[in-house]
Amino acid sequence: MCSCHQEGVHCAEMAMVCLTDFEEYANAHLSKATWDYYAAGADECCTRDDNLLAYKRIRLRPRILRDVSVSDTRTTVQGKEISFPVGIAPTAFHCLAWHEGEVATARATEGLNTCYITSTYSTCSVEEIVAAAPSGYRWFQLYVYRERKLSEQLVHRVEALGYKALVLTVDVPYTGKRRNDIRNQFRLPPHLKVKNFEGVFEQETSVPEEYGIPANTLDPSISWKDIYWLQSITCLPIIIKGILTKEDAELAVEHGVQGIIVSNHGGRQLDGGPASIDALAEIVDTVAGRIEVYVDGGIRTGSDVLKALALGAKCVFIGRPAVWGLAYKGEEGVREVLQILNDEFRLSMALSGCRNVAEISRNLVQFSKL
């Protein structure tokens, strides 16, 4: 880390006080290609950047003299109690940031009793993740492939392993244009693999690769009828990730899914779409409590979590900050990132006059006129 002399005091290690500290550490210590991959947004990165700026446009309306001597951050997602409403969003290739990769992430989330959405594009297998954190609460993020059997086999694997929900990512019929990945000719290093597909594509070495598997593997013909197909092969709850409009939220409810993650894929897909938090309220209003609604994208502080819950999210999920934690100190780093968010959320709740999650309501927020 850093060594410095300040007012005669020797500081052997920089204090990690907020998520930005982890971001700066990761930027300084990861290779350029790896940093660029994690940081990438699509095209001009307008949506990626707006995910953060949108939270700053929301102001809190604190209530005072509310006796906040005792506070409780617990909530439930899909009927399961978690210690606070922050989980880990599905992010690929954790072994690029830390040698233990997703195994470290799984242990950290197990230790803090929250939800970890494991990515299809993990550099540890779903079996390795379960073995490392057997009592952890996990969902599995799924893509639909042209070869439906690939998706089906994954579903059966994770169901047998005790994953508690499927998170169907629906905003990637094609991969967004991430300019730095193209410039860097990003590829997984030879010692890393998309472990859930180990052995599946080995006969196709002449086919161009895209993020660890052959290009054009994803199915761009995916449609609402595939929700019914997925329901026919699993008993797990289905949560759709990537909805940004009230029209699609209504269709999701009509098709019998159990949840929605309001998400623009971290700004990595369609540039020029809304910030996730800006799309949240209309989706919550449309759903009207019929299913749970979550949000990811741009959460960097505990007050961001509070704002998202005030606008109707049941839970938020963090992507890049988890990777920054990994880059810092593996499992311990992810735990620190989550603990900082938990502590900041608890403090923001108290300073706003909320003693528990149930007291957080839309009356707590207003939108800045600026």
- In the set 5, 29, 156, 265, the catalytic residue is 265
Residue 2 covered by a domain: no
Provide the annotated binding site.
Answer: 37, 90-92, 119, 141, 143, 169, 178, 241, 263, 265, 268, 296-300, 319-320
Cβ neighbors of 338 (< 8 A, separation 6 or more) are 86, 108, 109, 112, 114, 325
Residue 340 is classified by DSSP as: H
Phi, psi of 169 (to 5 degrees): -85, 120
Pick the closest to residue 58 from 304, 294, 302, 341 (CA basis).
304
Report which secondary-structure segment, H or E, holds 239.
Answer: strand 238-243
The domain in which residue 270 lies consists of: 19-367
Provide the annotated binding site for FMN.
Answer: 90-92, 119, 141, 169, 241, 296-300, 319-320
User: Can you give the pTM of this predicted structure?
Assistant: 0.95
Pick the closest to residue 242 from 190, 191, 315, 293 (CA basis).
293
The per-residue pLDDT for 3 is 36
Residue 260 covered by a domain: yes
Rounded-to-integer distance, Cα 19 and Cα 316, Å: 15
Pick the closest to residue 145 from 155, 135, 136 (CA basis).
155
Pick the closest to residue 331 from 99, 3, 154, 85 (CA basis).
99
The per-residue pLDDT for 369 is 64
The per-residue pLDDT for 40 is 96
Segment 146-202, tens digit of pLDDT: 999 999 999 999 999 999 999 999 999 999 999 999 999 999 999 999 999 988 876
CA distances from residue 74 to 91, 311, 346, 358 in whole angstroms, order as listed: 24, 18, 10, 10
Segment 37-71, tens digit of pLDDT: 999 999 999 999 999 999 999 999 999 999 999 99
Phi, psi of 298 (to 5 degrees): 90, 0
* 265 among known catalytic residues: yes
Residue 213 covered by a domain: yes
Residue 90 covered by a domain: yes
Rounded-to-integer distance, Cα 279 and Cα 295, Å: 9
Q: Which residues of the chain have pLDDT under 50?
A: 1-12
The per-residue pLDDT for 6 is 39
Residue 184 covered by a domain: yes
Rounded-to-integer distance, Cα 303 and Cα 116, Å: 21
Residue 12 covered by a domain: no
Give the number of domains in the chain.
1
Residue 13 covered by a domain: no
328: Cα within 13 Å, side-chain hemisphere: 28
CATH number (domain holding residue 257): 3.20.20.70
Q: 114 burial class (0-12, 13-18, 19+ CB within 10 angstroms)?
A: buried
Q: What crossing angle do the helices spanning 320-351 and 302-310 adopt, rounded to 10°?
A: 70
Provide the annotated binding site for glyoxylate.
Answer: 37, 143, 178, 263, 265, 268
The per-residue pLDDT for 194 is 94
The per-residue pLDDT for 142 is 97
Rounded-to-integer distance, Cα 40 and Cα 42, Å: 7
